[in-house]
């Protein structure tokens, strides 16, 4: 019964983390009511007239180094980063007696390959592993959970916009 509760809490932690990450991209857009222009200017063309459209589109601007720069995983993160994946962000967490972190990685590997890799890593650390697959509109999402008395770990891997995105989580019970 206790193991079932811990598994359920780990699944909720990972689901909440994924939801928070997904919602972090959403921003609230407030619309402001603009005062209408005076009646005598409402239908007049813009002065001076707009230039004619260009025949060829402007060349794409190269991305800045900031946009393509990868972040390193924290030194104290206990799991290796899957080969070819880049760390996009980290988040430290604390819930009750458990303290840990989450690392978001992206790359070209398949979600199944990423999930299999971390399943092996969890087993190397003697964690009890459970795996779930979920079909979504965008494709398949794979969740792998690893647990012991002191450690709760997980990975959620999915394919988005032609690249794989995975959120790794690791938390350990703190001794007092």
DSSP output for 88-152: EEEEEEEETTEEEEEEEEEESS-HHHHHHHHHHHHHHTT-EEEEEEEEETTEEEEEEEEE-SSEE
In tens, the pLDDT along 29-82 reads 444 555 555 555 555 555 555 555 554 444 444 443 433 445 677 788 999 999
What would the mean pLDDT of 15-28 be, rounded to a whole number?
A: 48
Q: What pLDDT is attached to residue 60?
A: 47
Give the residue among 57, 82, 98, 50 at the shortest CA–CA distance from 166: 82
Q: pLDDT-based confidence at 11, cuts 50/70/90?
A: low
Q: Is the pLDDT of residue 26 over 50?
A: no
Average pLDDT in the chain = 75
Q: What pLDDT is attached to residue 175?
A: 82
Please give the residue that has the higher pLDDT: either 38 or 85: 85
Please give the residue that has the higher pLDDT: either 116 or 13: 116
What would the mean pLDDT of 138-148 be, rounded to a whole number?
A: 91
Q: Are 133 and 80 a contacting pair, CB within 8 Å?
A: no
Domain segments of the chain as ranges: 1-16+86-176
The highest-level CATH class for domain 1-16+86-176 is: alpha beta
């Amino acid at each position: 019964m206790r193991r079932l509760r811990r598994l359920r809490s780990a699944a909720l932690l990972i689901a909440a983390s994924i939801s928070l990450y997904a919602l972090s991209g959403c921003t609230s857009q407030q619309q402001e009511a603009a005062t209408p222009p005076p009646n005598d200017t409402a239908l007049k063309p813009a002065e001076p007239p707009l230039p004619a459209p260009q025949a060829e589109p402007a060349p794409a601007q190269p991305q800045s180094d900031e946009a393509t720069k990868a972040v390193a995983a924290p030194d104290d993160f206990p799991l290796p980063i899957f080969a070819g994946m880049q760390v996009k962000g980290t988040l430290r967490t604390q819930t009750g007696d458990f303290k840990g972190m989450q690392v978001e990685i992206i790359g070209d590997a398949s979600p199944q390959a990423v999930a299999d890799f971390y399943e092996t890593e969890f087993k190397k650390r003697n964690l009890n592993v459970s795996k779930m697959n979920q079909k979504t509109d965008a494709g398949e999402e794979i969740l792998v959970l690893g647990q012991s008395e002191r450690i709760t770990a997980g990975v959620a891997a999915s394919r988005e916009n032609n690249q794989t995105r995975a959120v790794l989580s690791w938390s350990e019970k703190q001794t007092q």
